[in-house]
Amino acid sequence: MRCPFCGHVDTQVVETRESDEGDQIRRRRRCQQCDKRFTTYERAEIALPSVVKKDGTREEFVLPKLRASMALALRKRPVSVEQIDAAVDRIQEKLLNSGAKEVTSTRLGELVMRELKRIDKVAYVRFASVYRSFEDVDEFRQLIRDI
Which segments of the chain have a pLDDT < 50? none
Q: What's the one-letter identity of residue 74?
A: L
Helix 105-119 and helix 121-131, axial crossing angle in degrees, nearest 10: 160
Number of domains in the chain: 2
Q: Are 28 and 60 part of one and the same domain?
A: no
Taking the alpha carbons of 96, 100, 102, 105 in that order, is the dihedral positive or negative? negative
Task: Please tell me the predicted confidence (pLDDT) of residue 133.
Answer: 67
pLDDT digits 0-9 by tens, 72-104: 999 999 999 999 999 999 999 999 999 899 999
Residue 128 domain flag: yes
The residues, any chain, with a CB within 8 Å of residue 58's CB and separated by 6 or more, are: 50, 51, 52, 102
| DSSP, res 145 | H
Q: Are 54 and 120 part of one and the same domain?
A: yes
Residue 1 domain flag: no
Q: Which residues constitute the domain of residue 38?
A: 11-43
Q: Are 19 and 90 part of one and the same domain?
A: no
- Using a cut of 0.75, tell me whether the model's pTM lies above it: no
Which candidate, 3, 66, 65, places its Cα nearest to that of 31?
3
Residue 86 domain flag: yes
Task: Please tell me the predicted confidence (pLDDT) of residue 23.
Answer: 82
Task: Please tell me the predicted confidence (pLDDT) of residue 112.
Answer: 96
Environment class of residue 94 by beta-carbon count within 10 Å: exposed (0-12), middle (13-18) or buried (19+)?
A: middle
